Structure 1
Amino acid sequence: MSAESDLAVIVLAAGKGTRMKSDLHKVLHPIAGRPMLEHLLASVAALAPARQVVVVGSGRDQLETALNGRASLAVQDPQLGTAHAVQQAESALAGFAGDVLILYGDVPFVAADTMRAMLERLHDADEPAVVVLGFTPDDALQYGRVIAVGDRIVKMVEYKDADPEERACNLCNSGLMAVRAADLFALLARVGNDNAQGEYYLPDVVNIALGDGRVCAVVTTEDPDEVAGINSRAELAEAEGRWQQRRRRAAMDDGATLVAPETVWFAWDTRLGRDVLVEPNVVFGPGVTVADGVKIRAFCHIEGASLATGVEVGPYARLRPGAVLEEKAKVGNFVEVKKATMGKGAKANHLSYIGDAEVGAGANIGAGTITCNYDGYFKYKTVIGERAFIGSNSSLIAPVKIGADAIVGAGSAVTRDVGAGELRIVRAEQLVKPGWADRFHDAMKKKKAEKKG
């Protein structure tokens, strides 16, 4: 391979995914907040392929929307086996003369380095016709077997067609292959379906090439999890668990403290700085960046947010997309922040909603304060100046601006701008009726006694 751009990738995603029991296409089910197909394509992107083809069956419209033109689509209908599926990509690769990687959309965690190793083996001096990715699981189950001497394949056999001696081999076929385009479709054209399932098996291209006297080779991954397929909700959960376990370990290795690692859930793109403290039961959605020295207390949900150095969040806080907490800002228990910036040292310690807002440095948001940002049709912005003090149980009805050093009295419903340094109190005057409560209680007690009598 003269350059990685001489590469095409075929991703098989035509399976119906019936074991998922879902209206969502199997390969679009997320792991760590990212569809499994996107995990695979991210690894593929490191090889800069010239062409990408996704072979689809049912759910084509979902994949078409998700891919948004990033890959050609080839339709397999009817579905007659894996060799037949790969054949459907032939027209999409017309005129292509480079190497082809065959991958599976429900095998999302194949590393780019593993793909490179397959391609490099394809171009070794013995010029194998096909390179297969093999693995050696603890339990070989009903995987197809790769019968090999060293890394040269002697035979490929499906489990149902294997004899007892072949089934005793623990080198299994992942289904992934590297083949030159010039060989691939010529070999596929010779695949038959004389087997237990009556299907056109992709591994048969290896046996056909071997019959022609050509070399075929196997590259073995040391990590069976890398090639684990996902076919059910249970397997999806297992894959999520494995991914999370590795990510938690990586976070701790990079200098973060996870008090109870098994209770912390990361998204695929979560970034944590050094000396970050994450207490139990914290969930990160996609799009979170956490700088050094941040404290995230227990039971927080954080998504699409940026936390600067020294920030403190929670417990029981929710940061939604667009939340930006600048240096040493604090968001406390039962506070929700959405599409809002909390300036340096700003605080919202309890029971507040801050949405579509700018909160200046050093401002203090009292308990029970809300920014009323939505009128049922449009969203509006609240701007709170530096060092402003918003009293408890206040409603700031946007669009509204609170000036620097201003004070909003507790219980106020503010509908007009407050100037810098002003005090604004917007609440009804207290009404006092001496003795009214005593008379009320006496009357009600008397009424109750009469009913009992």
Structure 2
Amino acid sequence: MNTGHDFAAVILAAGKGTRMKSELHKVLHPIAGRPMLHHLMAQVDALSPARKVVVVGSGREQIEGALGEDTRTCVQDPQLGTGHAVQQAAGELEGFRGDVLVLYGDVPFVKGETMKAMLDRLHAEDAPKVVVLGFEPDDALAYGRVIADAEGRIARMVEFKDADETERGCRLCNSGLMAARAEDMFALLDRVGNDNAQGEYYLPDIVNIAIADGDTCAAVTTADPGEVAGINSRAELAAAEALWQAEQREHWMAEGVTLRAPDTVFFSFDTELAPDVVVEQNVVFGPGVSVATRARIKSFSHIEGATIGEGAQVGPFARLRPGAVMEKDSFVGNFVEMKKAVLGEGAKASHLTYLGDAEVGAGANIGAGTITCNYDGYFKYRTTIGPRAFIGSNSALIAPVRIGADAIVAAGSAVSRDVADGEMRMVRGEQLVKPGWADRFHDTMKKKKAAAKKDG
């Protein structure tokens, strides 16, 4: 998607976000595993901007650390309103002759299509000086109103407290997002005053200044009010997460994925599911997960940074950590954990197993209670299990170690040396048998208990 026009995105993120009550900057709080600022930046990047500038203030080091090298920052200090914030970007955009799109770091869900519509409207035949993104909420509350005609040409922008009854009856509200050509944006901002109760310079004032000059300003209306919802508190963050998750559930079901209990499944921003995947109740997808067709994710499984192949089965109660790869028709059952491990085609680990830093060959069987001992307190080591190998229950494979193809490890073995192809390895202490010992033990202990009870 391309706008066809050079534009710079100016993203306002200087606010302290005090209502979050957090040491983490407000715009870095995650939604679906991704900071809200990055949700917005991803949509901006899809439009191939010529420049990106983030206006920072409190917590600037956190934001600067979260940005790529292609994004510039400027500082707003003191913070004297939204108009003043945009003015701080003038130095970073010196000599830039394209458009400026003003966005907010705590309004993360604005779609690229909406941004493009604003920039396209800026280049329409009537050549508006400023384009405003409007929205029509179910309850307009105390939002500022955009008084516009049927073609979106704005007659006036008015704050709720200054609006008369007729203007308050208008349902088109100001989102705060705006676009203008760079030379117009900064020329108009130079004329904005701060004669108001807060003593601040407000960005929407540029619209009324342009209109007073006899210039056209226009509104573009989003069909989805949730697109411009701001996030300023933990409650609003939770509401945004819920909204995003609900949309993703609808999306994946429309793409051919079966969700047994949709409200109990949680996705990450980059989850990828193929058609005919089945996801049961209470499944959580962390970042970096892809699932191939016909795979089945059973209840209460947690999956992050994993690749699940065609027809594979996961869970219930399984955990796949980053680097886990399940190949075609492989299977992990209840209380199995994988980390940085590959489970080959048709291989299975049915229950109570840990596979870390391991490679398991096709058709291998990992018995219950098996663990790969991959860490000595200082370094990680790798375990390799060959095709069709059989690992008996309650075995400990002490890495680095290789179990050959078709090999068998007897139940209860602690294996610290390689096992050759086709070999059987049993590592157990000698089993000691004492006939009658248990009977004598029970008789003795019963007598002691009876004596103690009598004395007591």
Q: Does 1:266 align with 2:267?
A: yes
CA distance in 1, matches of 2:137, 2:7: 29
CA contact (8 A) 1:161 1:195 kept: no
Identity %: 71
Q: Does 1:199 align with 2:191?
A: no
CA distance in 2, matches of 1:435, 1:4: 91
Structure 2: runs of 5 or more not aligned: none
CA distance in 1, matches of 2:408, 2:436: 34
Moved over 3 A (4+): 2-5
Structure 1 partner of 2:347: 346
Q: Give TM-score, length-normalised by structure 1.
A: 0.98
Q: Could you give the per-residue CA deviations for residues 214-249 of structure 1, whole angstroms, max 9, x where no partner exists?
A: 100000111101111111111111111111111111
TM superposition shift of 1:198: 2.3
CA contact (8 A) 1:5 1:50 kept: no
Aligned to 1:85, what secondary structure does the other structure show?
A: helix
CA distance in 2, matches of 1:29, 1:270: 19
Alignment of 1:389-428 (within 5 A): 389-428=390-429
Structure 2 partner of 1:133: 133
Structure 1 partner of 2:234: 233
CA distance in 2, matches of 1:157, 1:194: 15
Q: Give TM-score, length-normalised by structure 2.
A: 0.97
CA distance in 2, matches of 1:38, 1:171: 28
Structure 1: runs of 5 or more not aligned: none
CA distance in 2, matches of 1:163, 1:15: 31
Q: Does 1:248 align with 2:271?
A: no
Give the partner amino acid of 1:212: D
CA distance in 1, matches of 2:407, 2:429: 20
CA contact (8 A) 2:5 2:99 kept: no
TM superposition shift of 1:197: 2.6
Q: Does 1:35 align with 2:35?
A: yes
CA contact (8 A) 1:5 1:47 kept: no
CA contact (8 A) 2:293 2:309 kept: yes
TM superposition shift of 1:4: 4.0
Q: Does 1:161 align with 2:183?
A: no
Structure 2 partner of 1:293: 294
Give the partner amino acid of 1:326: E
Q: Could you give the per-residue CA deviations for residues 260-284 of structure 1, whole angstroms, max 9, x where no partner exists?
A: 0010101111111111111000000
TM superposition shift of 1:162: 2.7
TM superposition shift of 1:165: 2.9
CA contact (8 A) 1:4 1:48 kept: no
CA contact (8 A) 2:145 2:168 kept: yes
Aligned to 1:352, what secondary structure does the other structure show?
A: strand
CA contact (8 A) 2:3 2:47 kept: no
TM superposition shift of 1:169: 1.7
Bigger drift between 354-363 and 61-70 goes to 61-70
CA contact (8 A) 2:339 2:357 kept: yes
Q: Could you give the per-residue CA deviations for residues 29-71 of structure 1, whole angstroms, max 9, x where no partner exists?
A: 1111111111111110111011100001111111111003231
CA contact (8 A) 1:4 1:49 kept: no
Give the partner amino acid of 1:192: G
Aligned to 2:133, what secondary structure does the other structure show?
A: strand
CA contact (8 A) 1:372 1:396 kept: yes
Distance 1:4 1:24, change over 3 A: farther
Structure 2 partner of 1:147: 147
CA distance in 1, matches of 2:137, 2:5: 33
Q: Could you give the per-residue CA deviations for residues 335-381 of structure 1, whole angstroms, max 9, x where no partner exists?
A: 00000000000000000000000000000000000000001111000
Aligned to 1:351, what secondary structure does the other structure show?
A: strand
CA distance in 2, matches of 1:324, 1:284: 15
Give the partner amino acid of 1:11: I
CA distance in 2, matches of 1:162, 1:195: 15
CA distance in 1, matches of 2:4, 2:264: 40
